[in-house]
Amino acid sequence: MDIDVAALIQVGLYVALVLGLIVGILLLAGGLTWVERRVLALFQDRYGPNRVGPAGLLQVLADMIKLFWKEDWVAPFADKTVFVIAPLFIVIFTIMSFAFVRWSPGTAVADLNVGLLFFLGMSSMSVYSVALGGWSANNKYALIGSMRAIGQMISYEVFMGLSLMGVVMMAGSFSLGAIVRAQEKMWFCVPQIVGLIVFLLAGLAETRRIPFDLPEAENELVAGYHSEYSGMKFAMFFMGEYIGVALISTLLVVLFFGGWLGPILPGVWWFLLKVGIAIVGFVLIRGSLPRPRYDQLMAVGWRVLLPLSLVNLVVTAALVLSTGS
């Protein structure tokens, strides 16, 4: 039997790329815990991690060791099978969303014409993790937190999708690579400023970050949907949150800030620089804004963001038709 060496090498390269992407994302999620602590400490004029390793860099490793050795307890009143697998969903679906992201002109796992639709689909699937986690715990606080998360995430997915349709119309494609290339003359953050604002707010709600962390409001719900979780299962929920922050920051750069486009420096460096700035922005928002009431959160979505998204959609469609571009 003849063996196609070239095909085997190609498959090996794809496997290495996928494994490298997964490992890189997981390491990034761990590193973001250190970044968030350091940035918030600087912002609030206090010390951050500075004891374990140089500049506290090994604090992430210490946290991982603690979580590995922490008792992995499952409540006797919980639905054990669902309780155990629920945290996996948010990590898996969030990592899969990175498959179509291009961080330089020729680097991506895949660049099909459905990249943006795939991202929206995976973000919709992530709600199952918090929903099943809260329900399976058989705890009233966890259940209330999961119901809040379901309402919040499903509602803001609507506004997120609508906010991106203006970008799709201007680029003429759902491909993330094509959207970046369409911004060579002007980044979409200028003509699509309304879509940018709606997408940013929806991204905060989707990742359940402060100020939109109502599903785990400590003063009301103990810890919300993950009240009964400990050890590595608890860590998976937080890993999914930090991966989500990296994902929304990445999509923010790709869709509105020109992706890898920029002068002098190689494209990948521009991409990483922009994503880093976006992540720091997420951290500063956490350290600056208070948490609203849940009814206020939902009211802003349906009474403000939905009309803004629809107006942006109509205006963008009119401009595209009038200019013929």
pLDDT digits 0-9 by tens, 173-201: 888 888 888 888 889 988 899 999 999 99
Position 85 pLDDT exceeds 80: yes
Kindly report the length of the chain: 325
The pLDDT value recorded for residue 2 is 52
Q: Which two three-digit tokens encode residue 159? A: 């506004």
Radius of gyration of the chain, Cα coordinates, nearest whole angstrom? 21
The rounded distance, in Å, linking the Cα atoms of 160 and 203 is: 7
Q: Which two three-digit tokens encode residue 236? A: 């998976």
The rounded distance, in Å, linking the Cα atoms of 242 and 258 is: 23
Nearest one of 246, 121, 96 to 174, comparing CA atoms: 121
User: Which range among 67-71, 181-185, 234-238 has the greatest average pLDDT?
Assistant: 181-185
At 27, the amino acid letter reads L
Residue with tokens 């992706």: 259
Average pLDDT over residues 205-222: 74
- Cα 24–225–155 angle (5° rounding)? 80
Report the 10 Å Cβ neighbour count for 208: 23
The pLDDT value recorded for residue 278 is 92
SS3 107: strand
Residue with tokens 């600056």: 288
Average pLDDT over residues 245-251: 90
* Window from 86-95, 158-167, 218-227, 283-292 with minimum mean pLDDT: 218-227
What's the pLDDT tens digit per position in 266-312?
Answer: 878 888 899 999 999 888 888 787 778 888 888 888 899 999 999 99
Of the chain, the percentage scoring pLDDT greater than 70 comes to 92
Q: Which two three-digit tokens encode residue 235? A: 């860590």
Do residues 216 and 152 make contact, with C-beta atoms less than 8 angstroms apart? Answer: no
Exposure string of 36-45, with b = 16+ CB inside 10 Å and e = fewer, is bbbbebeeee
The pLDDT value recorded for residue 232 is 79
The rounded distance, in Å, linking the Cα atoms of 303 and 301 is: 6
| pLDDT averaged over every residue in the chain | 82
What is the separation, in whole angstroms, between the first and last Cα of the chain? 53
The pLDDT value recorded for residue 106 is 67
- Residue 74 DSSP symbol: -
Where does the pLDDT of residue 218 fall: very low under 50, low under 70, confident under 90, or very high at 90 and above?
low
Contacts of 239 (CB under 8 A, 6+ apart): 26, 29, 30, 91
Do residues 254 and 192 make contact, with C-beta atoms less than 8 angstroms apart? Answer: no
What's the pLDDT tens digit per position in 112-142?
Answer: 777 788 888 887 888 888 888 878 878 888 8
Contacts of 205 (CB under 8 A, 6+ apart): 152, 153, 155, 156, 212, 297, 301
What does the domain layout of the chain look like in residue ranges?
72-323
The rounded distance, in Å, linking the Cα atoms of 247 and 268 is: 16
Average pLDDT over residues 53-67: 83
Long-range contacts of 261-267 (CB under 8 A, 24+ apart): 261/180, 261/183, 261/184, 261/187, 266/104, 267/103, 267/104, 267/105
104: phi then psi, degrees, rounded to nearest 5 = -155, 165
